[in-house]
Amino acid sequence: MVNAQHHLIDHLGIERLLSVAGGSMGGMQALQWVASYPERVRSAIVIAAALKHSSQQIAFSEVGRQAVMADPDWRGGNYYGISQPRRGLALARMIGHITYMSDKSMELKFSRKLKDNRFSFSFRSDFEVEGYLQYMGDSFVKRFDANSYLYITKAMDYFDLSHGNMIPDGKILDTRFLVIAFKSDWLYPSYQSKDIVHLLKKRHIDVTYCEIESSYGHDAFLLEVVEESHLIKHFLAKTYSIINDEPTYNTIGS
């Protein structure tokens, strides 16, 4: 993914980026930019991400992949022109969406509200949270490809910039970092962001860490726009003030 982005900025004639920024998988791409092309990046903004997936994160990815591949319509990935594995992909999305929210945000949004104010005593959806998850799954299959889902989740599981994979011994890095985490994010918990900060500080790299109080869970990186914008605005202003005597930079988001 980052290699493709690198080819793009070459094509556009951009020599160096003021910043690369991203949340979740985008945060991993921001880290990979620095690992692969440090000379092209002046700063990186990493939001709700990790140096590598934990076994729990890999487990959630695998359950989603198995849901897709268990759908008879997947046909070993050869479903194009026939029918997309809609049920499997919708189920994968439902599983994933649960991990994006926090217990508190789900309780505030749904609690135990019933759709029809009574139990059906059947296996149809009685609770509003059930209907919501089904809606999210059905919406997802209209705009996403099942094989793309499989490859993207696998790429995230393979991603590993821990230890010396990001900054080899003897390598000097002048990239500035802003690392943002959210207290209620249990999919990418704040300790993983702190691992990034710890690795950078050991190498004496300029890094700022901010942990935002939010009830949204992992979804917070998409929803806490005001707080994030405030932090990013000041970080970019400081970065630009440091290099204001250098050539014009550009910003790319992931």
Residue in the block written with tokens 């050869």: 78
- Dihedral sign computed on CA atoms, order 86, 50, 109, 59: positive
Q: Do 181 and 232 belong to one domain?
A: yes
Q: Do 150 and 64 belong to one domain?
A: yes
Q: Do 61 and 79 belong to one domain?
A: yes
Q: What is the dihedral of CA 238, 242, 243, 248, to 10 degrees?
A: 20
36 carries an active-site annotation: no
Residue 254 pLDDT more than 80?
Answer: no
Q: Are the C-beta atoms of residues 88 and 67 closer than 8 Å to each other?
A: yes
Q: What is the dihedral of CA 189, 191, 192, 198, to 10 degrees?
A: 160
Per cent of the chain over pLDDT 90 is: 91
Over residues 96-121, the mean pLDDT reads 95
Residue in the block written with tokens 């985008």: 26
250: confidence class by pLDDT, cuts 50, 70, 90: low
Over residues 106-120, the mean pLDDT reads 95
β-pair type (207-212, 17-23): unpaired
**Catalytic choice (19, 24, 43, 105):** 24
Q: Do 94 and 185 belong to one domain?
A: no
Residue 248 pLDDT more than 60?
Answer: no
Domain holding 77: CATH number? 1.10.1740.110
pLDDT tens column, 2-42? 999 999 999 999 999 999 999 999 999 999 999 999 999 99
**Residue 45 φ/ψ, nearest 5 degrees:** -115, 110
The average confidence (pLDDT) of the chain is: 95
Q: Do 67 and 133 belong to one domain?
A: yes
Residue 169 pLDDT more than 90?
Answer: no
Q: Do 39 and 61 belong to one domain?
A: no
Distance CA 20, CA 17 (A): 7
243: confidence class by pLDDT, cuts 50, 70, 90: confident
174 carries an active-site annotation: no
Domain range for 224: 2-52+163-253
Distance CA 157, CA 116 (A): 40
**Catalytic choice (43, 105, 215, 218):** 218
- SS3 (DSSP) at 207: strand
- SS3 (DSSP) at 204: coil
pLDDT tens column, 118-147? 999 999 999 999 999 999 999 999 999 999
Look at residues 120, 140, 157 and tell me which one is the last residue of a structural domain: 157
Q: Do 192 and 230 belong to one domain?
A: yes
Look at residues 137, 157, 177 and tell me which one is the last residue of a structural domain: 157
Q: Do 44 and 73 belong to one domain?
A: no
**Catalytic choice (19, 43, 61, 185):** 185
Strand partners, 210: 180
Distance CA 221, CA 171 (A): 31
Q: Do 118 and 79 belong to one domain?
A: yes
Domain holding 219: CATH number? 3.40.50.1820
Look at residues 157, 172, 201 and tell me which one is the last residue of a structural domain: 157
Q: Do 226 and 106 belong to one domain?
A: no
Structural domain total, the chain? 2
Distance CA 188, CA 14 (A): 32
Name the nearest CA neighbour of 48 among 216, 157, 181, 230. 181
